[in-house]
């Protein structure tokens, strides 16, 4: 029968300075201790350093206490030492989850509500890490002891009530395995709805915008509504399409997202209910690997008012995701789909991680994660990539 091991938790707090960690371990090295865990956080120059150790035989607590407190006094820090016991592990460890919390701004009541709901579920927050502080604040909580689906549902209600975005994902290697990201274009990769911009040039903006809005809510069949809207563009010169393409406005953070993902070896794809004449040049400019969109029929340099079959609708977007995954040699479980409208629901459901980005309510309800901040690169935080890491990589290439 294995006996419990004695544990010793040493915590130093105070103003940070070089050499604290090395000097603390120099003291602990004098005793027959085994390092179990280490946590260090520095916030605005204030250090919290915790070291959990264990040993088979009772340690010389008096000597350790004098050594650690003497070091703390020398460094101008405060020291705390607590002892306990650790039973030998007999049961499988509880599942680990990543809970990502974003706010613009992130307020204390939002964090309190998330933490309270996690505690109410019987789970524990093992670690908290900041991933970004500007222009949005993002923290990540490592949580153990929770059932993913139940916690996701509970935190979705907190997110709606408190005005924060919350994502719950499985921990471990699962998130690190993501290798392909596929995005919608209109109102996701770019700020515009291309067909609405074309309609404004054709003098039928109000009529087309009304149909577009109903379609994105899921009230109308996408293929039929697209044909109805494109018919109103008949006679528009293709030079207008070129002009619209030149004036597209990328969503803030889009370039950063794609640049960072490509740097990390991801494949990127875009799927759009819009048009190849607009989408393909944009994809080339951004270095996107895969493209699927609809094709406008042109005759004598003008739009005929027809879109060529097959129309890329909800099912077509999901199939495009599958095709991109096959081309990349990536299973669907390692894909991320990002979209905002009802015609994105198919690919969001098919992907390993479905993200609703500033989406219609029907999409937010269906997706695993809903982001409601205006920065597309916040998708990086869902992958555990911090803003500081992105900035450091950018500076290294300058």
Three-class secondary structure of residue 35 per DSSP:
strand
| Burial profile 64-91: b = 16 or more Cβ within 10 angstroms, e = fewer | beebbbebbeebebebeeeeeeeeeeee
Is there a catalytic annotation at residue 394? no
CA-atom Rg of the chain in angstroms = 27
CA angle 36, 42, 44 (to 5 degrees): 170
How far is Cα 36 from Cα 28, in angstroms, rounded to an integer?
Answer: 13
Is there a catalytic annotation at residue 184? yes
Count of helices and strands (H, E) across the chain: 15, 16
Three-class secondary structure of residue 192 per DSSP:
coil
How far is Cα 193 from Cα 243, in angstroms, rounded to an integer?
Answer: 14
Rama region for 125: left / alpha / beta (φ>0; ψ in -120 to 50; rest): beta
Are the CB atoms for 254 and 376 separated by under 8 Å? yes
Among residues 16, 186, 192, 313, the one annotated as catalytic is: 186
**In this structure, what token pair is assigned to residue 205?**
């903006």
Among residues 37, 60, 74, 184, the one annotated as catalytic is: 184
Are the CB atoms for 6 and 83 separated by under 8 Å? yes
Q: Which of 239, 41, 70 is closest to 128 using CA atoms?
A: 41
How far is Cα 100 from Cα 243, in angstroms, rounded to an integer?
Answer: 40
Active site residues: 184, 186
């Amino acid at each position: 029968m294995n006996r419990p091991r004695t544990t010793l938790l040493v915590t130093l707090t105070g103003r940070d300075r070089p050499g604290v960690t090395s000097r603390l371990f120099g003291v602990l090295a004098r005793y027959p201790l085994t390092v179990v865990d280490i946590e260090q956080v520095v916030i605005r120059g204030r250090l919290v350093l915790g070291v959990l150790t264990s040993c088979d035989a009772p340690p010389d607590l008096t000597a350790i206490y004098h050594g650690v407190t003497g070091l703390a006094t020398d460094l101008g820090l405060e020291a705390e030492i607590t002892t306990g016991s650790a039973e030998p592990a007999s049961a499988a460890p509880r599942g680990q989850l990543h809970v990502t919390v974003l706010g613009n701004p992130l307020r204390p009541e939002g964090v309190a509500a998330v933490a309270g709901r996690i505690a109410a579920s019987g789970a524990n927050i093992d670690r908290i890490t900041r991933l970004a502080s500007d222009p949005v604040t993002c923290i990540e909580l490592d949580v153990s002891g929770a059932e993913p689906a139940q916690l996701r549902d509970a935190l979705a209600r907190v997110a709606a009530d408190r005005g924060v975005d919350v994502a719950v994902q499985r921990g471990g290697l699962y998130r690190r395995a993501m290798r392909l990201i596929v995005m919608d274009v209109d109102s996701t990769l770019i700020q515009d709805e291309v067909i609405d911009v074309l309609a404004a040039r054709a003098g039928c903006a109000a009529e087309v915008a009304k149909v577009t809005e109903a379609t994105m809510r899921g009230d109308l069949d996408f293929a039929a509504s697209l044909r109805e809207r494109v018919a109103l563009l008949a006679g528009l010169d293709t030079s207008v399409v070129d002009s619209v393409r030149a004036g597209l406005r990328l969503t803030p953070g889009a370039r950063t997202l794609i640049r960072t993902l490509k740097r990390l070896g991801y494949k990127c794809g875009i799927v759009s209910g819009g048009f190849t004449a607009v989408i393909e040049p944009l994809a080339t400019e951004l270095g996107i690997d895969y493209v699927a969109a609809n094709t406008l029929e042109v005759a004598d340099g003008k739009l005929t008012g027809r879109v060529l079959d097959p129309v890329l609708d909800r099912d077509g977007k999901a199939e495009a995701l599958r095709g991109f995954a096959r081309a990349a040699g990536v299973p669907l479980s390692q894909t991320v789909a990002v979209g905002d409208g009802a015609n994105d629901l198919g690919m969001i459901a098919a992907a390993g991680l479905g993200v609703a980005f500033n989406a219609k309510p029907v999409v937010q309800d269906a997706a695993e994660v809903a982001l409601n901040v205006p920065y597309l690169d916040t998708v990086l935080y869902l992958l555990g990539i911090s803003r500081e890491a992105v900035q450091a990589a950018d500076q290294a290439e300058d």
